[in-house]
Structure 1
Amino acid sequence: MADNLVGKSQQNGIPGVYGGNDVNGNGVVGETNGSGIGVFGQSRTGNGVVGRGWVSGARGVVGVYADSEQAPPSSAHFVIAASAGVWGTTSNEAAVGTDPMLNLKTASGVVGEVSLPGPGFGYGVLGLGHKDEGVVGWSEHGAGGSFHGAAGGIIANSEGSWGGQFKSAKRGQIRLVPREVDFGTDSEGNPRPKLPKFAEAGEMAMAAKGGGKCSLWLCVKSWQAGGGAVPPTDARWAEVKLGAAFNGTETT
């Protein structure tokens, strides 16, 4: 960009920067070749940055991290372009690092972080659903979601906190979407769903076999890759035994 631009408004209702539309269809473009910030919005009484998409399939705010100059695919998994208030994409060609303390990968499409002095101040990510789910996790090859609660060294009682909270006043707090799977039997004739051999301990699967009936299974031992003379070991699953079923009575 040829010149730097600083936008500041001295009057309520008047934006500091307004972008109409350039020849490429962009209202505002922020670019930096150094360690600075492409676009930074700050407000004492309002919103620092607001993005709005008017048509189906548009996004209010788009954030992309890529370690190459090639643009990542925008909606590869959606038949119809997904509409979103915020759309974050990460497209890594190089190997992704893992944080040695949290043991979590260091690349994410969207990251939410609470940076405050103690517990109870806020949420890293908050999903609100008025008629639909507050948070949905979907994965083509991995688990739909993963939740970690690490002990907090700066918390006064050092007890840490939950990996995730799920609240609903009208429906179940969380839903595992049943997946249709084939069933077989073990050596004693007990029904066994055909579940993934590549799974990590703690994963849960709701397996269904027609008629809306389903059963809950927990991965109790992670798979091992093996190597050399040591053969790989498949993940082990165990059924979560439930009590007797009964009809719901409350309307929503």
Structure 2
Amino acid sequence: MADNLVGKSQQDGIPGVYGGNDVNGNGVVGETNGIGHGVFGQNETGHGVAGRAWHFGAFGVWGVFGDSEVTPPTSDHFGSPNSAGIKGTTANLAAVDTDPQTKLKTSSGVVGEVSNPGSGFGYGVLGLGHKDEGVVGWSEHGAGGKFHAVDGGGIIVESEGSWGGQFTSTKRGQIKLVPREVAFGTDPQGNPRPKLPRFAESGEMTMVTQEGKCSLWLCVKSWKPGGGVVPQTDARWAEAKLGAAFNGET
């Protein structure tokens, strides 16, 4: 590679760095052998980095991480050329670690993070769709999507003109509730009853387990906050009765 270059514009309308095209079809190539960034863009009033592609099957920005100097091939999961404003690719030869706090793998094609934590500070990833879905998850051997929240709901689905959510699988269950261990008490008749959250909204469903046995519960009345002389109203739950269990065959 040539000597390091710093692009900085002193005039509006003039880019700090402009990449036309090299022999390999790249407008701009950023490379680092240290701890910095291959490409870093910063702008006070505009875009830090803007990428645009004209041809179908190309990407406006393609960010690649790999522990090998060989550029990974494009995905072979699509039957036709795939285009995107941004594509993130990760190609790991070594085993990927798991983060001890989030329990998630530490390598991803794209990561979106809100750096100022707290409610109301924005989304880690936002997908907007006009004629199709805002966000689509697809997996060849795993789940199409996984959602986890520490203090809130794992996933919220809202819709005004169509179905709230579509979950499709040809080989596994369409949706999975992860059973959780909870403390049990008894109802007025002496039957075992799980101790479920008092803060919940109607329609929430949870599967709990005790000594290897699972039961399914539905919130049938939302909690209401209290104030003044009005006491708080806790959420109410009802058990969803299940039929007899049997072994799967397919």
Give the TM-score category using the shorter length: 0.5 to 0.7
* Aligned partner (choices 184, 202, 221) of residue 178 of structure 2: 202
Residues 175 and 200 (structure 1), Cα distance of their counterparts in 2 relative to 1, 3 Å cut: closer
CA distance in 2, matches of 1:115, 1:161: 19
Deviations 1:112-156 (A, max 9, x none): 000114211100000000111000011111111000102xxxxxx
Shift of 1:42: 0.6
The aligned counterpart of 1:64 is 64
Residues 116 and 102 (structure 1), Cα distance of their counterparts in 2 relative to 1, 3 Å cut: same
CA distance in 2, matches of 1:100, 1:66: 22
CA distance in 2, matches of 1:66, 1:148: 27
After superposition, the CA RMSD in angstroms is: 3.1
Asked if the contact 1:75–1:81 (Cα under 8 Å) also holds between the matched residues in 2, the reply is no
TM-score normalised by structure 1 residue count: 0.66
TM-score normalised by structure 2 residue count: 0.67
Counterpart of 1:202 in structure 2: which amino acid? V
The aligned counterpart of 1:146 is 146
Mapping 1:88-107, distance limit 5 Å = 88-107=88-107
Asked if the contact 1:149–1:161 (Cα under 8 Å) also holds between the matched residues in 2, the reply is yes
Identity of aligned residues (%): 63
CA distance in 1, matches of 2:50, 2:135: 22
Mapping 1:44-123, distance limit 5 Å = 44-123=44-123
The aligned counterpart of 1:175 is 166
Asked if the contact 1:7–1:16 (Cα under 8 Å) also holds between the matched residues in 2, the reply is yes
Q: Which runs of 5+ in 1 are unaligned?
A: 151-159, 182-194, 204-217, 222-235, 242-252
The aligned counterpart of 1:27 is 27
The aligned counterpart of 1:244 is none
Residues 96 and 17 (structure 1), Cα distance of their counterparts in 2 relative to 1, 3 Å cut: same
Counterpart of 2:33 in structure 1: which amino acid? N
Residues 200 and 129 (structure 1), Cα distance of their counterparts in 2 relative to 1, 3 Å cut: closer
Shift of 1:201: 5.6
Counterpart of 2:162 in structure 1: which amino acid? R
Q: Which runs of 5+ in 2 are unaligned?
A: 180-204, 209-213, 219-239, 241-250
Shift of 1:73: 2.5
Deviations 1:79-130 (A, max 9, x none): 1121111111111121110011111111111000001142111000000001
The aligned counterpart of 2:15 is 15
Counterpart of 1:167 in structure 2: which amino acid? E
